[in-house]
Amino acid sequence: MPVAVTLTHAAVLPDTLPDDVVVAVAVRSGHLTEDAPGVDVDLAKLGGFEGKTGQLHVAATDAGARLLVGVGGEPDPTAYRRIGAAVARKAGSHEALVVDLLASFEGAERVAAAEALATGLVLGTYRFGAYKPAPEGTTLGAITLLGKGGARVAAAVERGVAIATAMVLVRDLVNTPGGDLTPKAFAAEATKVATGAGLEIEVLDKAAIRKAKLGGLLGVNRGSAQEPRFVKVTHRPEGRAKGKVALVGKGVTFDAGGLSIKTATGMEWMKTDMAGAATVLGAMSLVPTVAPKLEVTAYLPLTDNMLGPDATRVGDVLTARNGKTIEVLNTDAEGRLILADALCLAVEDEPDAIIDLATLTGAVIVALGERTAGAMTNHDGLRERVLDAADAAGEAMWPLPLPDHLRKGLDSEVADLRNIGAGPYGGALTAALFLREFVGDVPWVHLDIAGPADTTSAWDENTRGGTGFAVRTLVNLLATWTKLPPA
């Protein structure tokens, strides 16, 4: 369970504190803030600590030991997520943490800083412990924030904790091995999450998937001993909805590549290939709170991609939900096959917009690196909204084009489409062009999150493994949703 974070409406620390409590105070521009009275320390003696953003130093002060936290000359609320994570990690071996870092802000900036700080503090304590317990004495038990601001700041802290909790759910799912997080197990977790959040949920088993004519999902699943699942989760508001949004997430619970088998190194992180579905599920858990008047439905196709005796062969032709036929020329280009069916179902429900998320291509990592997602679209206005939401969330996304001249490379001599392009370049773009064939005229954005969905090393608020990337973007997007203008 994520660590508990509470807000105390106090301007100063209490006179006495329990044993083994770390107290974090802000330092800006080389001096302690005036809102931390009674604390005095000679910064010149701290060996290079200057109060720069994110700098930490434990120092003896006239009020006792304090964790000095650099917040920069002009504190920035957007930096408080990574500051919070750093503080929580530093205090991880203690029973409790008291954080006094909000005094530099007023009004809306204090609200934004409180939300970011609460999110960072929770994420900074994250550890995936399903198979290995934490060493004794390394688990922070409770965090208390000090800060004035009334109900708005309290609500911001609550929202920040809720967002972090959703991201922890995503991280746990992404970090769970594919042998344990089977499609059936993922569907069971989705049922638990949906029930807890008051959401509608429908789970299709293999027979129902076959009846629904989800040929892409069935084709990818042919090599597996694990049955597929298709999960549909819906938030239906009371009264008239102010809009209708579809979220689609790729859910390949382990990707061995099928008969186009991956290398051993390439397969090492393939338990994470369901990060798109996990991210959508995490965001859905927050919809009743952040977007109560918006109708939002998630479409999650779930399977692994294995090499069993009846695995889809190279050259086989699959038929998607909408009747389009697909020649499979690389069984490792499987994510687009299951997304095709999910996009068809989303279109049939007539949403105002569709956003899909998928760890779809290595090509997007070549283009944008490991920390930036690619955003592709058939509606520039929708993409701008998504990018604005990502910018506000502190999540890096970059617009990529859908060049029409690359579409010709998806033409097949035996089917409506090939599942890969004819040339070696632009793989992220041709994958998105393939998906575009299944959305019709519905405004749609495809987010290829193959890079930032997981990380091999810790940075900012992220630990090694799943990151929970794009949950904050979806929350911002849905919370501020208004009717789209024409394309």
Catalytic residues: 262, 336
Given a contact cutoff of 8 angstroms between Cβ atoms, the answer to whether 185 and 272 are in contact is: no
Cβ-in-10-Å burial (0-12, 13-18, 19+) of 52 comes to middle
* Dihedral sign computed on CA atoms, order 130, 136, 141, 145: negative
The C-alpha atoms of residue 449 and residue 210 are separated, in whole angstroms, by 29
